[in-house]
Amino acid sequence: MTAKLTLRSLAQSFVVVALFAFSSAHAQDTIKVGVLHSLSGTMAISETTLKDTVLMLIEEQNRKGGLLGKKLQPVVVDPASNWPLFAEKAEQLLVKDKVAVVFGCWTSVSRKSVLPVFEKNNGLLFYPVQYEGEESSKNVFYTGAAPNQQAIPAVDYLMNDVGVKRWVLAGTDYVYPRTTNKILEAYLKSKGVKSEDIMINYTPFGHSDWQRIVADIKKFGSAGKKTGVVSTINGDANVPFYKELGNQKISAEDIPVVAFSVGEEELSGIDTKPLVGHLAAWNYFMSVDAPANKKFIGEWRRFIKNPKRVSNDPMEAHVIGFNMWVKAVEKAKTTDVSKVTDAMIGIEVPNLTGGTAKMLPNHHLTKPVLIGEVRADGQFDVVWQTEGLVPGDAWSDFLPGSKDIEADWVKLKCGNYNLKTQKCSGQNYE
């Protein structure tokens, strides 16, 4: 009995050793790619899709023969929607796994949590979600929209094309809506909108009792001027909000709501009939009729084995980011972070909806801005789009504190350069 056991454990340890040897031998000719997206907790709904997107891109790249003659190997970790855990997992990816690049984060607070880790270890992060700006790190490439690539054009559309004169800025109570609304308020005032024509409202995460707020919006909107709602309401809370709008008979024709956090993925879980006609501003819509988009959706559905799966804007951001990184590595002929970072600037890859995305010296992209109206089937009809591409602006021109600040990693070598005092302040992680 004892002998048998020993024999078995011997065999086991042999297998383990062999596996180990194999995997480390294997690691020699692979490039590790970190994936830092929550696979559990509140953000899992959105972030799991992005993890799958990166895995698909890696698989495709490997089928094409990998990168620099090596195979790409994904290292997936789960920060579980827990912001401090994001920093820990990032440290693990950079220090223990020694990944060449990381694709990850969704909420701004998770990005802020990992920033010091990436700067300390000289890592490389691709962040794929629209955000509030006011940031530019040497180690981060922002492939989502800055406020001037989503919020400001959306407000312009409402102001010029729809003729909105009175504004409701409604948001969930956290950093992204608060900063965005601050920028929008300053922007509206610079356009001559008076304070009494702006109503600002914040609600907690997951708010479900919207009757009072919607009644207030209705009252605010019945003052004889065309009223529009700019919504930075996040996640779940949107469903009861739109339901209440429908029940109180506020139609999109009277008071349109333009949302920055509602996309195809979010709409796929809800009954979209009460939302028809309401607006969303993104840089990508699944419904855009373009060959590259069609091809991408086909591949995505095949990869995820679901012929009805939707695609959305942050997915496109990862596609662009990944393709740019591949190009930069090929250009630099190494995965060394400093060299790849330098090679990144000026790299161009095609957008899925047409045009090309170009990486700017401030680590943001040029993007088209699209405004879509919700259809009954949960997709969007594009009703407006910018003429050309909009270059992302890291520091808003409409906030007094950031007006004079410039980010430029080529000439100034600084992400927070004050043009007036000519000083580089570095990053402020508050």
Partner 1 sequence: MVRHVALWMLIVALACQAAVAADNDVAFSDALAALTTTNFKAKEQAASALAALRHPDTRATLQALLDGQLYYRRDDKQVLIVKEEAPADDLVRISTNNQLRKTLKTLIAGFDLADSSAQVRLAAVNEMLRALDAQGAAALRAQQEKETDSRVRNSIRTGLAIVDLDSEDANTRLAAVEVLTVSLNPDAYNGLNALLAKREPDARVQAAAIDAVKRIESSRSFYGAIETLFFGLSLGSVLVLAAIGLAITFGVMGVINMAHGELIMLGAYTTYVMQLLMPNHIGASVLVSIPVAFVVAGCVGILIERGVVRFLYGRPLETLLATFGVSLVLQQIVRDVFTANNRPVETPAWMSGSLQFNEALSITYNRLYVVVFMLIVFSALLLVLKRTTLGLKVRAVAQNRAMARAMGVRTQWLDAMTFGLGSGIAGVAGVALSQLTNVGPNLGQSYIIDSFMVVVFGGVGNLWGTLIGGMSLGVVNQLLEPYAGAVLAKIFVLVALILFIQRRPRGLFPQKGRAAEG
Q: Is residue 309 a contact point for partner 1 (CB under 8 A)?
A: no
Residue with tokens 């302040």: 425
* Pattern 204-223, partner 1, x by CB under 8 A: x-xxxx-xxx-xx-----xx
Q: Is residue 160 a contact point for partner 1 (CB under 8 A)?
A: no
* Pattern 264-283, partner 1, x by CB under 8 A: -----xxx--x--x------
**134, 137, 241, 415 from 428: Cα distances, Å:** 9, 10, 35, 10
- Name the segment binding partner 1 (CB under 8 A); options: 243-251, 296-304, 327-335, 356-364: 243-251
Which conformational region is residue 426 in: left (phi greater than 0), alpha (psi within -120 to 50 degrees), or beta?
A: left
CA quadruple 279, 280, 286, 292: dihedral, nearest 10: 120
Q: Is residue 386 a contact point for partner 1 (CB under 8 A)?
A: no
Cα(85)–Cα(40) distance, integer angstroms: 12
Q: Is residue 192 a contact point for partner 1 (CB under 8 A)?
A: no
- Measured from the CB atom, the residue of 163 and 346 that comes closer to partner 1 is 163
Cα(246)–Cα(249) distance, integer angstroms: 5
- Measured from the CB atom, the residue of 15 and 223 that comes closer to partner 1 is 223
Quick one: 342 exposed, middle or buried, by C-beta within 10 A (0-12, 13-18, 19+)? middle
SS3 201: strand
Cα(347)–Cα(60) distance, integer angstroms: 20
- Name the segment binding partner 1 (CB under 8 A); options: 195-203, 293-301, 312-320, 418-426: 195-203
Q: Is residue 290 a contact point for partner 1 (CB under 8 A)?
A: no
User: Which of 103, 102, 125, 86 is CA-nearest to residue 318?
Assistant: 103
Cα(136)–Cα(417) distance, integer angstroms: 10
* Pattern 45-64, partner 1, x by CB under 8 A: x-------------------
Q: Is residue 298 a contact point for partner 1 (CB under 8 A)?
A: no
Q: Is residue 44 a contact point for partner 1 (CB under 8 A)?
A: yes
Smallest separation (angstroms) from partner 1 to the CB of 237: 8
Q: Contacting partner 1 (CB under 8 A), which of 36, 193, 199, 239? A: 239
CA quadruple 226, 286, 241, 40: dihedral, nearest 10: -150
Q: Contacting partner 1 (CB under 8 A), which of 29, 60, 330, 381? A: 381
Where does this chain bind partner 1 (CB under 8 A)?
42, 44-45, 162, 173, 201-204, 206-209, 211-213, 215-216, 222-224, 236, 239-240, 243-244, 246-249, 252-254, 256, 269-271, 274, 277, 373, 375-376, 381, 383
